[in-house]
């Protein structure tokens, strides 16, 4: 069987020597790794090592003899060719520098240029000194990359080459290889660029609303916005015009979306109803508060014995949308449950009258609220489809796959994947 080509990019960290073992294990797992190195990486390991193990030339310069177009064809340009022919780009180790460059779209060498040119899944295994790892700039760049769908194999803690003990140690080689296999299986069937949402205007809500108690306090929830933002990214990638109505979230705004920032459930309702007439699909992934405080204190409440807050129900936005939507506008809800997940989901699907409901169990910490991964079930009045555990980007792709099918054959051909 032909081996799947993957690209291992080695950058200039002390853990560069561990990339040799990752390459070997990828071969054992049935892949055909090709190696790209940054200039700094060559200071740590010689390209010859990788060339000998892989049997392929190691690419490290944007300006090599093979860099130009052969026969005037785009695919003859080496970095474009590499970007388009690889099934995955695996950066191991990933330096603080490469995280910053990828996050900011800098393209000043072979690897950074290739990154911008590839649509293959990108897996990064960072490794660095603990203080570098904890630096807000590094963490911000990581958050940007994760929001963009990059798979990050988190470093572990332990003895570091710099003599310190702490976070920043490259993940185990086997863990990196497993992440590659998972990213490829998540991407299967969705990695190919499709335009299957062209012509659709998808209105998406995300994040957790906040209901004020006084000028400085609020009632909130643990939603991070990651699922809604992943859906927004994926829907625009597939050609939809996307309107993202977002409650507070620490995530960077997805590119190419119309963004409406809101805070409370009432503001979210107003924004969603204003955008509803132009929407052909509405996906309500936000965690909207069921209650708001009846009387918000005008000044900060002082500690003074026990206090009771009177709560009143907020308006059910989902129900209102179902009632007010134009004919043909699909409405998809999300249900975060902590018990009797499926039974509660089925009941909610019926009660809300939505076309589909994504139910997820938010009781755990591995998936659901604030986690990078999610799992769940997509319910329609006729079908139930399991959405296996994966990154939120992969889950977004699976959900949209199903909605495209549902759109083209309402109530008939939705199949389990």
Ligand X SMILES: Cc1cc2nc3c(=O)[nH]c(=O)nc-3n(C[C@H](O)[C@H](O)[C@H](O)COP(=O)(O)O)c2cc1C
The least distance separating ligand X from the CB of residue 211, rounded to whole angstroms, comes to 42
Site string for ligand X, 118-137 (x = CB under 6 A): ---------xx---x-----
Please tell me the distance from the alpha carbon of residue 330 to that of residue 367, in angstroms, as a whole number: 26
Please tell me the distance from the alpha carbon of residue 363 to that of residue 147, in angstroms, as a whole number: 23
Cβ-in-10-Å burial (0-12, 13-18, 19+) of 153 comes to: buried
Q: Is 162 a catalytic residue?
A: yes
Stretch that binds ligand X, among 13-21, 67-75, 387-395, 396-404 (CB under 6 A): 13-21
* Contact between 141 and ligand X per CB under 6 A: no
Q: H helices then E strands: how many in the chain?
A: 13, 19
* Contact between 11 and ligand X per CB under 6 A: yes
Candidates 7, 95, 205, 367; binder of ligand X (CB under 6 A) is 95
Is residue 250 classed as helix, strand or coil in its secondary structure?
Answer: coil
Candidates 4, 5, 14, 316; binder of ligand X (CB under 6 A) is 14
Please tell me the distance from the alpha carbon of residue 150 to that of residue 391, in angstroms, as a whole number: 10
Contacts (CB under 6 A) with ligand X, residues 26-65: 38, 40-41
DSSP-assigned letter for residue 367: B
Please tell me the distance from the alpha carbon of residue 152 to that of residue 378, in angstroms, as a whole number: 26
Closer residue to ligand X, CB minimum distance, 13 or 207: 13
Closer residue to ligand X, CB minimum distance, 128 or 230: 128
Contact 248, 263 (CB under 8 A): yes
Please tell me the distance from the alpha carbon of residue 285 to that of residue 263, in angstroms, as a whole number: 15
Considering CB under 6 A, how many residues would be counted as binding ligand X?
Answer: 15
Closer residue to ligand X, CB minimum distance, 2 or 108: 108
Candidates 26, 89, 90, 98; binder of ligand X (CB under 6 A) is 98
Closer residue to ligand X, CB minimum distance, 28 or 108: 108
The least distance separating ligand X from the CB of residue 133, rounded to whole angstroms, comes to 9
For residue 237, give Cα distances in angstroms to 233, 278, 406. 6, 19, 19
Sign of the alpha-carbon dihedral angle for 299, 300, 304, 306: positive
**Which residue among 62, 162, 266, 297 is the active-site one?**
162
Chain residues in the site for ligand X (CB under 6 A):
11-15, 38, 40-41, 95-98, 127-128, 132
Q: Which residues are known to be catalytic?
A: 162
């Amino acid at each position: 069987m032909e081996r799947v080509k993957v690209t291992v990019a080695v950058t200039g960290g002390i853990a560069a020597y561990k990339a040799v073992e990752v390459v070997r294990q990828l071969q054992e797992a049935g892949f055909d790794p090709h190696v790209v190195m940054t200039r700094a990486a060559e200071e740590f390991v010689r390209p010859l090592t990788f060339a000998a193990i892989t049997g392929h030339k190691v690419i490290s310069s944007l300006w090599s003899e093979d860099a130009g177009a052969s026969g005037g064809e785009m695919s003859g340009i080496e970095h474009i060719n590499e970007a388009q022919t690889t099934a995955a780009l695996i950066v191991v180790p990933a330096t603080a520098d490469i995280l910053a460059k990828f996050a900011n779209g800098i393209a000043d060498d072979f690897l950074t240029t290739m990154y911008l040119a590839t649509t293959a899944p990108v897996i990064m295994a960072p490794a660095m000194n603990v203080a570098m790892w904890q630096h807000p700039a590094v963490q911000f760049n990581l958050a940007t990359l994760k929001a963009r769908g990059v798979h990050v194999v988190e470093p572990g803690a332990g003895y570091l080459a710099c003599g310190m003990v702490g976070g920043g140690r490259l993940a185990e080689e086997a863990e990196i290889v497993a992440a590659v296999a998972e990213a490829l299986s998540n991407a299967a069937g969705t990695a190919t660029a499709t335009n299957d949402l062209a012509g659709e205007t998808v209105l998406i809500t995300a994040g957790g609303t906040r209901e004020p108690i006084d000028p400085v306090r609020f009632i909130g929830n643990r939603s991070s916005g990651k699922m809604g933002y992943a859906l927004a990214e994926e829907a625009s990638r597939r050609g939809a015009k996307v309107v993202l109505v977002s409650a507070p979230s620490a995530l960077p705004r997805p590119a190419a979306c119309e963004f409406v920032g809101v805070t409370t459930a009432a503001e979210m309702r107003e924004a969603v109803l204003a955008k509803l007439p132009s929407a052909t699909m509405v996906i309500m992934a936000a965690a909207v508060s069921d209650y708001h405080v009846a009387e918000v204190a005008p000044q900060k409440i002082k500690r003074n014995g026990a206090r009771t807050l009177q709560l009143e129900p907020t308006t059910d936005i989902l129900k209102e949308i179902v009632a007010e939507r134009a004919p043909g506008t699909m409405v998809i809800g999300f249900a975060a449950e902590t018990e009797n997940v499926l039974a509660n989901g089925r009941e909610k699907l019926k009660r809300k009258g939505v076309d589909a409901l994504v139910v997820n169990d938010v009781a755990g910490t591995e998936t659901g609220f604030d986690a990078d991964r999610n799992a769940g079930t997509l319910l329609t009045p006729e079908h139930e489809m399991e959405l296996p555990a994966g990154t939120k980007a992969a889950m977004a792709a699976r959900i949209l796959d199903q909605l495209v099918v549902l759109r083209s054959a309402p109530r008939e051909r939705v199949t389990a994947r």
